[in-house]
Amino acid sequence: MTDIPKGFEGDIDPDDPNLKFRKQRWNYWNALKSVRHEYLSTLKDQTDPQFDAYDFEDFVEKKYGIKMNIVNHQITDQYKIVDEDLYAYFMLKWL
């Protein structure tokens, strides 16, 4: 099997016509997990740090040029690139 993203090894059908799309989505989610750790580290100076999807969305947009789609405080797999240069940095750093 080719370059299966970490954590998704058992979720692969090599005959899936959408395999490339799924790999890209898995890579995006894995990258967001790392970005989430980075975001949470910025909250350490607060007395009661809480993860907030909308604050996280602002963080990701300002730092990496990605406007995430959030529905009912839940991050979806849909996003829009709003700054190509910041997105290129995101790709180099996390993907």
The parent domain of residue 63 ranges over: 19-94
Q: Write the DSSP string, 54-65.
A: HHHHHHHHHHH-
79 belongs to a structural domain: yes
45 belongs to a structural domain: yes
12 belongs to a structural domain: no
78 belongs to a structural domain: yes
How many angstroms separate the CA atoms of 86 and 92, rounded? 10
Q: Report, in this order, helix, strand and coil percent for the chain, each rounded to 5.
A: 50, 15, 35
68 belongs to a structural domain: yes
CA 69 vs. chain centroid, Å, equals: 11
pLDDT one-digit tens code per residue, 86-95: 999 999 999 8
36 belongs to a structural domain: yes
What band does 42 get if pLDDT is binned at 50, 70 and 90? confident
14 belongs to a structural domain: no
Please state the domain count of the chain: 1
User: pTM of the prediction?
Assistant: 0.77
CB 77 within 8 A of CB 23: no
46 belongs to a structural domain: yes
